[in-house]
A and B are shown apart, each in its own frame.
Chain A
Amino acid sequence: MDEIAAAIGIDPVELRHRNFLHVGDTNATEQLMREPVILDQLLDRALKESDYHARRAQFARENPASAVKRGMGIAAFYHGSGFTGSGEVYLNSLAGIDVTRAGKVRVLVSNTEFGQGTNTILTQIAAEALGIGYADVAMAAPDTDVVPNSGPTVASRTSMVIGRIIERACSQLLALLREHAGLGATFTPDEFFAACERYRAVRGEVVSLCRYEAPPGIFWDDQRYHGEAYGAYAWAVYVAQIAVDTVTYSAEVENFWAVQEVGRVIHPVLAAGQIEGGIAQGVGFALYEKVVWQDGRMANNQMTNYIMPTAEDVPPIHVVFEEIPFQFGGFGAKGLGELPHDGPAPAILNAIRDATGVAFNSIPLLPEDLYAGFAAAQPAEETVVR
């Protein structure tokens, strides 16, 4: 994007504003944007949060007299939530809840907690949808002898797709309890569990499962790879501030701003942790993590020579969420797990270009890669790297 902007003499910010998708536009698969698209707003917020224009002006003043060149780079991007195309339809996920005799609601999903917060979020969703306490809900172990097949734990799908199924299964259970067990319009948790026991006495196990339902109007052509590629997209604008040391050829991310719209944020602490973690991986992707292949094997398969970001390498990361609840996601959620991996590398490369005038189109950029790039670029007089 910044190469195009430079070639036609337009400011990178202006180029993006002119070309952003909006509601009513179609994307590369000719999917009509029906849900809100607020890229302009995200970009403006990211520029404001990062003080982008003032910092760029400052670096333009300071860089000529400094061996350390600083620059600012932008990446604007989106990431589809859930499986692509017909994926979620083929998965046909089944998920739900049951109620144990010990008076606990159990969430029945095959989606597995590995630190991303799935257990917390699905528990929150079930408790909220049923109108009972968080402590009244537990997660069943994701053992296929116990839980139905709600698909794999991938594709930024759990909060949006599975969360929505759990929400529906909870509403379905409340309707059953009202119809068959005299549950009132309002109730306490004790009254809820008493109704569950009356239901069990008459109708057997207290269980409510639902299948995935695609948002209406979704059509995907598997043959032509055309149509509604995703039910929803998460949108983001990231800004990186970079310092390139022209003596050592090392690049350091000094500051990072991440503004995104991911639907409703179900748990702000966990969501920010996902974004920050993804950005740290993105920093590694852009600057450190070079896989060296030798005879079909990774030659540097040790942490001594495959370098990932440490506590000293991650920049301060400023995370901002704009929230637009997505009506077909669990309590308005869209996916956010993969989103933060997309933006850091382009933002960092654009910032390196801004700092040095040299454009790179490959990653990662270790010092030797930066050296080779600068040597090959033979930059114009005003962007000479000293």
Chain B
Amino acid sequence: MSTNAGATSNKRWPTIRFNVNGEARRVKVPPMKRLLDVLREDLHLTGTKEGCGEGECGSCSVRLNGELVNSCLIPVMQAEGADIQTVEGLALDGKLHPLQEAFLCHGGAQCGICTPGMLMAAAQLLELNQHPAMPEIREALAGNLCRCTGFIRIFESVAAAVDAQSAGPATKLTTEQTHDAR
């Protein structure tokens, strides 16, 4: 990106518009800048973590137009007009998402680098399947590597969030945002 560095070339950068966690955002950045870096550096949404940086570990997972993507593999120009959800969009009004609650209670996080991606992968699963069985939970998280937990407690956390959801409609596991009311 050195050819784009400096104030002169800055003027040539396009403005890219998209929604993040229900809020309209615009950035003026090199179009090939990774969505991961735009989220972290330009929008200061540092919840999304970089793991391998080559699309193998899932640590940087975000939801883009309802799909789970590795934000390290998305040039930001590809996000023009997109609806993006990051881990910061899970908790609503200071109240943790049921998945976050479950990860907290069941030891689903250790060092925490994989956790935002795991949460987004689990949120994506629950968006598509409100009652996943254990093999479906394992499959849905198979693109997200964790070196600390051995995954077992992550599976249990997701299963516990599913149970919490079954226990009452008040805790429906939606990832849709209410921020856009603002």
Contacts and interface: CB of A to CB of B under 8 A. Distances in A.
B150 A276 contact: yes
Given A273-B149, A277-B110, A314-B151, 5 more contacts: A115-B111, A277-B148, A280-B150, A280-B151, A310-B145
Contacts of B142: 310-312
The majority secondary structure among interface residues of chain A is loop
Contacts, number: 76
B138 A278 contact: no
Contact of B54 (A281, A303, A308, A314): A303
Contact of B147 (A270, A272, A308, A312): A308
Contacts of A114: 111
Measured as residues with beta carbon below 8 angstroms from the partner, the interface class of chain A is 20 to 34
Residue from A269, A272, A311 having most chain B Cβ neighbours under 10 A: A311
A317 B56 CA distance: 25
B153 A272 contact: yes
Interface in A299-331: 302-304, 308-312, 314, 316-317
B56 A269 contact: no
Contacts of B137: 311
B109 A115 contact: yes
Interface string A316-359: 11000000000000000000000000000000000000000000
B43 interface: no
Contacts of A116: 110, 148
Contacts of A277: 110, 147-150
B14 interface: no
B57 interface: yes
B120 to A, nearest CB: 14
Interface in A365-381: none
The 9 closest A-B pairs by CB, nearest first: A115-B110, A280-B150, A115-B111, A276-B150, A303-B56, A311-B141, A277-B150, A273-B107, A269-B107
A115 B150 contact: no
A311 B52 contact: no
Interface of B: 52, 54, 56-57, 106-107, 109-112, 137-139, 141-155
B154 A311 contact: yes
A302 B52 contact: yes
Residue from B109, B141, B143, B150 having most chain A Cβ neighbours under 10 A: B150
Residue from A277, A281, A316 having most chain B Cβ neighbours under 10 A: A277
A279 interface: yes
Residue from A269, A272, A276, A309 having most chain B Cβ neighbours under 10 A: A276
A308 B149 CA distance: 13
A311 B153 contact: no
Contacts of A308: 145, 147
A278 B153 CA distance: 13
B63 to A, nearest CB: 19
A348 B144 CA distance: 25
Contacts of B151: 276, 280, 309-311, 314
Interface in A278-303: 278-281, 302-303
A277 B108 CA distance: 11
B154 A115 contact: no
Contacts of A312: 138-139, 142
Contact of A311 (B54, B106, B109, B155): B155
Contact of B144 (A117, A311, A314): A311
Contacts of B112: 115
A25 B57 CA distance: 47
11 contacts: A115-B111, A115-B112, A269-B107, A272-B153, A302-B54, A303-B54, A303-B145, A308-B147, A311-B141, A311-B142, A311-B154
